[in-house]
Amino acid sequence: MKFSSIFRSLLSEQGFTQQSIANKLNTTQQTVSRWINGQNEPDLKMLNSLADIFNCSVDYLLGREDDFGVIAGNSNLALTSNESEMLSYFKLLSADLQREAIGFVKALAL
């Protein structure tokens, strides 16, 4: 998937407007529009800032890995459906509950 498609989806999913992202990045709405339309792509500094804003990796923004951090095209590292489901619920937990969940899973594994 191309950066422009991923970026457009993230904007929509997280409720950002072109102008709100432009403001956060200290750039123009026209620049953001060019990224969405695939006319241009952000430089590395902007990609890092976007990754921070969207709480994802630069590789995800570039379409090199999925949202669980699995590198695209590397099926040896792909998560099973159970692992994906567990991770999606884990991400919903607070940091304290995540630590508790890790402790619980460790206890189950012993």
pLDDT one-digit tens code per residue, 25-75: 999 999 999 999 999 999 999 999 998 888 888 888 998 876 655 555 555
What whole-number distance in Å separates Cα of residue 88 and Cα of residue 30?
34
Tell which wins on pLDDT, 66 or 97. Answer: 97
Identify the pLDDT of residue 79. 64
State pTM to two decimals.
0.61
- 9 Cβ partners below 8 Å, 6+ apart? none
Give the type of residue at 96. D
pLDDT of 77 over the 60 cut:
no
Helix, strand or coil, per DSSP, at residue 62: coil
CATH code at 3-61: 1.10.260.40
Identify the pLDDT of residue 19. 96
Helix, strand or coil, per DSSP, at residue 18: helix
Give the type of residue at 97. L
Residue 62, CB-side half-sphere exposure with 13 Å CA sphere? 13
Residue-averaged pLDDT of the chain: 85
| Structural tokens at position 97 | 């509950």
